[in-house]
Amino acid sequence: MFLISLVALAQAGTASVPVARGPARSFISALDYPAGVAASAARAVEVAMVVGPDGRVASCTILGSSGTSLLDATTCRLLRSRMRFTPARDAAGNPTAGEVRETIDWAAIRSGTSPSSEARPPLVRTEAPPIITLPVAPPADNREWAARARADLGSLITADDYPVDARRAGVQGTTGFRLDVGPDGSVTKCTVTQSSGSEALDTASCRLMSARARFTPARDMKGKAVADTVNNRIAWRLPPQNNIVPDLVITHFTIGTDGTPRDCSRFAELSGRTAENKAPDCGPSPPAGTLLEALRGIANKRETRFRIEARLLRDAAKPWPVLEQEGRKIIGYDLIRLRVAPGGRVIGCVVLDRQTGGLPQNNICRNALQIQDYKKPGEAEMRMVVFTAIESQA
């Protein structure tokens, strides 16, 4: 089901906090436990992370040690490299740095159990659950205190409230609104102060707040209930869909002397089914912009034939495929280890080895991945290799 992330930004002088794009526990698996650390040393590590405006962990500090320096260092290293957040925002709505504290229980990770606070399945990368908080406005000169919501506003809106047409169209956006609150605590008027760009989302925001929000009214210096206004915003977000991992995808294309891609072909295999597509001019889907620019630089105005291949190895016991072959020059590659749960959901994704060769890094492990037709009762380890190569150059 589609989820809604509803985040109300505070008024002047107050900032929101970073929101993790998944439980901290979900970014770490038993396979990450340091080989040089005894199993008996698997204890909890408490950390403080500073999250930058880009949503990445800028620094990690140990607040509560496991008693083993290697395990402490491994915890911070993994969180810095893998954990991602929706960044905090300041009063103006701009991304800003913020601090988050987490506890990683290595004993639970090794045993495959999860704390009750992380009961949802690991590594399902969705947006944050519905959260909306009401900032407390400083009282005006004629008020003793401002209007206060009688219930968490986030509890008033659910995923089922996402407008159907907007959901089907994949429309997202942030609606800013002002609520006029009467002396009886009811919402007398809702005004959109910042449009999401979608009339459906804006209308739903005001309709839901007007119908469901109730307040303890503001009071003046004599204790009399008076009217008030409350400003907030709702961010309507759709979670990313699971990405099906194909067994094999091979893409060929040529970059001409003028830098234009052409003669594209793509072969794909998924659960024994194959498909091939050819587009002489690369059709509507040429290589992504940053990748294309990097490959143009490598081609250096010489006609060059490239190959991009992604291959899933369902049997982790099999050796890695040989990448360097006659007539093929490897530019960059990723060797990836996957841990797959019953049903095919990828619950662990680790890049074991990477060579970028000047190409933009792949971010495969940041996605919610799904292996199709995995029906075994237990977990499995699989592998994946992704590489880019030159096959010929004039």
3-state secondary structure the chain: CCCCCCCCCCCCCCCCCCEECCCHHHHCCHHHCCCCCCHHHCCEEEEEEEECCCCEEEEEEEEECCCCHHHHHHHHHHHHHHCEEECEECCCCCEECEEEEEEEEHHHHHHCCCCHHHCCCCCCCCCCCCCCCCCCCCCCCCEEECCEECCCHHHHCCHHHCCHHHHHHCCCEEEEEEEEECCCCEEEEEEEEECCCCHHHHHHHHHHHHHHCEEECEEECCCCEECEEEEEEEEECCCCCCEEECCEEEEEEEECCCCCEEEEEEEEEECCEEEEEEECCCCCCCCCHHHHHHHHHHHCCCCEEEEEEEEEECCCCCCCCCCCCCCCEEEEEEEEEEEECCCCEEEEEEEEEEECCCCCCCCHHHCCEEECCCCCCCCEEEEEEEEEEEEEEC
pLDDT at residue 114 in the model? 43
pLDDT at residue 242 in the model? 64
- Do residues 168 and 81 both lie within one domain? no
Domain ends where: 177, 207, 236? 236
Any domain includes 136: no
Any domain includes 3: no
- pLDDT at 112 exceeding the cut of 90: no
Any domain includes 161: yes
Return the exposure string of 224-236: e unless at least 16 CB atoms fall within 10 Å of the residue's CB, then b. eebebebbbbbbb
Question: Which of 123, 158, 159, 347 shows the shortest CA–CA distance to 238?
Answer: 159
Q: Does residue 123 contact residue 240 with C-beta atoms inside 8 Å? A: no
Any domain includes 69: yes
Give the pLDDT band of residue 206 (cuts 50, 70, 90). Answer: very high
Domain ends where: 203, 236, 269? 236
- Do residues 383 and 276 both lie within one domain? yes
- Do residues 272 and 363 both lie within one domain? yes
Give the pLDDT band of residue 300 (cuts 50, 70, 90). Answer: very high
The encoded tokens of residue 228 equal 């008030």
pLDDT at residue 307 in the model? 94
- Do residues 201 and 264 both lie within one domain? no
Characterise 66 by phi-psi region: left (phi > 0), alpha (psi -120 to 50), beta (else): alpha
State whether the Cα torsion 54-60-63-68 is positive or negative. positive
- Do residues 324 and 360 both lie within one domain? yes
Q: Cβ neighbours of residue 284 under 8 Å, at least 6 residues apart?
A: none
* Single-letter amino acid, residue 315: D
Any domain includes 130: no
Domain ends where: 180, 210, 236? 236
- Do residues 105 and 149 both lie within one domain? no
Give the pLDDT band of residue 331 (cuts 50, 70, 90). Answer: very high
Our CA angle for 242, 315, 308, nearest 5°, is 60
- Do residues 214 and 286 both lie within one domain? no
User: Rg (Cα) of the chain, in Å, rounded?
Assistant: 26
State whether the Cα torsion 104-106-110-113 is positive or negative. negative
- Do residues 84 and 167 both lie within one domain? no
Over range 201-224, report the average pLDDT.
89
CATH number at residue 166: 3.30.2420.10
The encoded tokens of residue 377 equal 């009762």
Give the pLDDT band of residue 133 (cuts 50, 70, 90). Answer: very low
Any domain includes 9: no
pLDDT at residue 345 in the model? 87
> How many folded domains does the chain comprise?
3
Over range 148-177, report the average pLDDT.
79
CA distance 309 to 266: 10
pLDDT at residue 115 in the model? 41
Residues of the domain holding 75 = 22-118
- pLDDT at 96 exceeding the cut of 90: no
- Do residues 252 and 377 both lie within one domain? yes
Burial class for 279, CB neighbours closer than 10 Å (0-12, 13-18, 19+): middle
Any domain includes 301: yes
- pLDDT at 197 exceeding the cut of 60: yes
Over range 251-269, report the average pLDDT.
90
Query: What's the mean pLDDT when you consider all of the chain?
Result: 79
- Do residues 105 and 229 both lie within one domain? no
Any domain includes 208: yes
The predicted-structure confidence for 372-389, as pLDDT tens digits, reads as follows 888 888 889 999 999 999
Max CA distance (Å), the chain: 88
- Do residues 371 and 263 both lie within one domain? yes
CATH number at residue 32: 3.30.1150
The encoded tokens of residue 258 equal 């003028």
Q: Does residue 34 contact residue 72 with C-beta atoms inside 8 Å? A: no
Q: Does residue 4 contact residue 322 with C-beta atoms inside 8 Å? A: no
- pLDDT at 302 exceeding the cut of 80: yes
- Do residues 168 and 297 both lie within one domain? no
